[in-house]
Amino acid sequence: MGSLRHGHTFKRKDDGWRHSLSMPTISGRTEARHHAAVSPAPAAVAVSGNLAGVNFSKLHFKSPYNIFPERLPFGKWKVGCLLDDQTATRRWYHQSVPATDQLPMTPQVCFHFCSNVSGTQFFGLQNGNTCYCTPFYHEKKSSGSQSCDVPCEGNAEFTCGGNQKVDLYEIHDCNNLPPEPCKPAPQLVEHALGFYSNYYRTSTPCANTKMEPLSTRKPDCEIQCEPGYFLQRNDIKCVQMGHIDTGVWMQVQGSANCEAVSCGPPPSIPHATFPETAIVFPDIATYTCQIGFTVNGDPSGEKQTQCRCQANGLLENPKPCERVRCGLCSSGDGFDHAIPKEKGVRVYEDKCHYVCAKGYTLNSQASGSTSFITSCNALGNFSSAPRCQPVTCGPAQKNKLCFTGTSWRTAGCSSALRPTCWLPV
């Protein structure tokens, strides 16, 4: 026998031992060297079975066959259908597992059992229902038409050897074998960053493909979403497709989803209507100022203000809606002899209180009203106002006036009773 290596066994050219990484071809394709998938057992049968009653410490293979006892094989590929006349170093499933725990045989059942027997590098299936583990095998040249055509007891879709030949599988630690790359390149994901890959010669969504492809050793695609988005789901990975009996290939499968960050409902601002549902990046909530309000208080100012959802999940502060300004209380033309009480700028719904100057009323009567009010309206104008009119005395009484030759005066009356209006006759 040649030298043994971790995960490898060799055969001499004449009559020795076969290397475990020999690669038979089927239908023009090279069989998978690792992660070879075998269809699971029927749904009614558990793949793993109950191995709690198996004492694997007694089943392990000893040196020199067991090079690395802590080796954890989790991949397999089919070596082929052959006559194995190495019978001295084997561990049999039906002899090791209690009868009550034994499952109908399939390649997966045998693999699960043998992967727990330390030192195993191959397992064989024969007669449709038997399974054994071994650290090496010896292929005997056969003559005749023997074949592996007996259906597996646990799943008739597979064969479990024949009357003489065995279906032989190799088992291995996938991390101890060269990786198989996935081609073509993974497709870009919406709202995910793209990374140029020197291997694929194009951009991919996988940050870990800048220098190497996705492979059976590093199957997962590392997604980074654009600012304002978070990774909601990602199951993109390099997986093995096909069937071990007909050929396998590596292919990228799965998808990823970068979801927009939510900022929640927009904040309330006084004197504005706005949508009350949550908004997400980069959406905008629009506020509409109520009548009598604008964004800057100017009568001709903007009636709408906005609030944007930012990439950090926070909302911008919307500008407030301010009352429309009418300015100072009116004076001058139209407001002669009217004196306002209020100082400063008046805004929508504010009032100006006026008082007429002495000698003036709103109807020119001495007993008339001397005050009035104007309001600042939604258009930035003051409401219309009455005028302050001078008080009138009516026609003069002639019999109360006399002329002394130099001036007019009241005749026959004391000065205390003198009328307020003096007019010549």
Q: CATH number of the domain that 333 lies in?
A: 2.10.70.10
SS (H, E, C) 219-235: CECCECECCCEEEEEEC
In a domain, 395, yes or no: no
pTM of the shown model = 0.50
Helices marked H in 37-115 — which ranges?
Answer: 56-59, 93-96, 107-114
User: Would you state the pLDDT for residue 386?
Assistant: 93
Q: Are residues 166 and 47 part of one domain?
A: yes
In a domain, 385, yes or no: yes
Extract the residue ranges of the chain whose pLDDT is less than 70.
1-50, 52, 67, 143-144, 174-178, 243-247, 394-425
Query: Over the chain, what is the mean pLDDT?
Result: 81
Choose the final residue of a domain: 291, 322, 353. Answer: 322
In a domain, 3, yes or no: no
Task: Provide the token pair at 301.
Answer: 């100012």
- Give the range of the structural domain holding residue 408, as residue numbers without chain letter: 400-425
User: Would you state the pLDDT for residue 14?
Assistant: 34
Counted domains in the chain: 5
User: Would you state the pLDDT for residue 95?
Assistant: 93
Choose the final residue of a domain: 176, 203, 228. Answer: 176
Q: Are residues 118 and 161 part of one domain?
A: yes
The conformation of residue 417, written as its DSSP 8-state character, comes to G
Q: Are residues 116 and 40 part of one domain?
A: yes
Q: Are residues 96 and 127 part of one domain?
A: yes
Choose the final residue of a domain: 206, 238, 260. Answer: 260
In a domain, 7, yes or no: no
Q: Are residues 139 and 210 part of one domain?
A: no
Q: Are residues 302 and 201 part of one domain?
A: no
Q: Are residues 235 and 124 part of one domain?
A: no
In a domain, 185, yes or no: no
Q: Is the dihedral of CA 13, 17, 18, 20 positive or negative?
A: negative
User: Would you state the pLDDT for residue 371?
Assistant: 94
Q: Are residues 60 and 34 part of one domain?
A: yes
